[in-house]
Chains A and B, each alone.
Chain A
Amino acid sequence: MTIIWSLLKHNGKPITAYAIGTSLYLLMLAALYPSMMKSGLLEAKLQALPPEVLKAFQYDKMTGFDNVLDLLGGNYYGLIFQIIASLFLLSLAARLLARPIDNGELILYLAAPITRHQYTAAAMIVMLLASTCLVLCNTLVLLLTDWFVSGVSIDGLTLIRFQLNALLLLYAIGGFTLFIATLFDDERRAFSIAGGVLILSIVLTIGAGLSEKTEWMRYGSIFSLFNTQQLLEGTDQFLIHLLTLASISLIFHVGAFLSFRKRSLSI
């Protein structure tokens, strides 16, 4: 418990910054939604954009914007969320494991009667808590706008499905970044390998939207397991996606435990 508190204290600022930053962005979009719809500004702007770009952001012109989640599905959860999630979890895994291994700070904990499993478990819990905190803040802000901003109405069930899927996506990416962080002594190497894979996933997601011929690229990316269009339409494979993300998260977290237990540390 002491390690978890200490790690939370050490990493509290960036976690809070990401949670508040993304929530404020959502609040701004949700609060502006009624006036954007009234002025027709949003529809006009979207008409001007090429369909490939809209597809990359997971907008669907056919469904239109019946409620604020339609807007957020394209403007935030379509692509921006994936980029923010990648940066958030890459930097958190670096701060919790890759950097302390690289600069030797980890000895503060490993000199104490603590096993490596205990430290890995603490790092994992902090990552899961940080992901949960981000999603909870986002959800809370959207619920507040639903309650207090006139002209905004959010379907509760769709919102829960969105946030649950987003949370599991964060858990899976978190497991992956933590696992990579346990593999190397060099923080930059861990960061660039995990970052490279996540950038490739984002590129595949964007590439998949460019034409029907490149649609297959979506399946090479973990972000295909968070399909906002399917979530909005309710025709998704929601449970399958959740189970797949949970399995990915579990596999990488177990991998992180095994890898960190066995390796020699030059700290």
Chain B
Amino acid sequence: MQEETTEQNNIITLEDLRPRREEKKTFSGYFMPRRHSGILFDPEKCTGCGTCEMVCSVRNVSKIAPASASMEVLRDEEDNRNFAILCQHCRKPLCIEACPTRAIEKGEDGIVRINKLFCVGCGLCTMACPEAAPLKDPVTEEINKCDLCEGDPLCVKYCPSGALTFTKGKKIRWIKGLRWTVQTVSFLLLVVILVGTFCSLKAGALSLSCPAGILQNIASSGTIVLVWILSAFLILGLTILAGRFFCGWICPFGFLLDLVDKITPKKIGWPSFLKSRMVKYGILAGAVGGSCAFGFQAFCPVCPIGSICRSYGATGTLNGANLGIMGALAGLEITERRVWCRYFCPVGALLALFAKIGLIKIVIGANQCKKFSCIQCAEVCPMGIIDADKLREGISPVIRMTECITCMRCIDRCPYGAAKIRFRWQKAVPGNIEL
């Protein structure tokens, strides 16, 4: 009896023979990520001639047989609308998950390949793929999938209209580097070098203040001092010019949240009944009303941005309550990214009101993106305002500038150049689908 059970345990499974490879996460991957190479398709240029299918089939089966190609052009003769089905070499390929024989692997170079030795041609990858890119050869019943011709795709070379372009992805994400530099410098300036700067600073004739603090000042004292308004105007003007640029690039507490986010990559989710982005306007109104009632700035004593600004230096004050509130708010980062900025920050709420009449907007053109399998912009967005479902349906999502902190992560990350920053009055996206 005992022998039988040991025999049961000795059955060799696929897990023993071909274990799944864990993705390695390296430090350099943060700033110089792995290239996301792939072929981009422009439906406006495609004429539907099928040259790409032909050259691809020549590579696959050494004869011109478009059905044996690793790509397919869907043609609509009436409206001259064409669409190429080709592998996007996803970062988390669903085909790998679905393959029962584990014949599909993503190489170190990011190219997803089918190992013909193990492929049995069941076609489950075609079903699982959001693009239906692995194609079944109707004659040989083998699955053909693009392997980018090992870095020099024939279809791109021979495309007569230039509808297909090959991209090796961006090497260095310069916006990312710039943003982290600006955030670090402003953190050092606002917290370490100039104590209490963000809340109020006077350097000769120049003065600079937190707009929400000024609002509370006005409410508590009942008087309007012109200098106060002028001093708040620097940040408000910046907001009108560049959206909530302050939140994404300068705010020292936002920088702290970004740092905390780096050490808590797994998110447990924010309860949905608290997912109201109007709460922060309520807190702003409460702060102003409270200041009016009590006669002092009601919110500033507990403000985490103020706390972090006042925390450093010889005159630094950071009492228990401040530290506790700041720590708790930073700890909320384990639920979602930038929970404080999304739902609660009254400074952000005031800036959001000005960002609403701001001059710029972020657009993500679904026509340029149109890849159900990528959706990296929605993943990296710290405010979670990019509607991935809309993008998957091919509709350009509306990005509310009141919620956008202009961190430009989406622009930096998009491999297709679909995320862009535009002036408010510019046409949204060429070929945007109006529904």
Binding between chains A and B: no
Chain B interfacial positions (CB closer than 8 Å to A): none
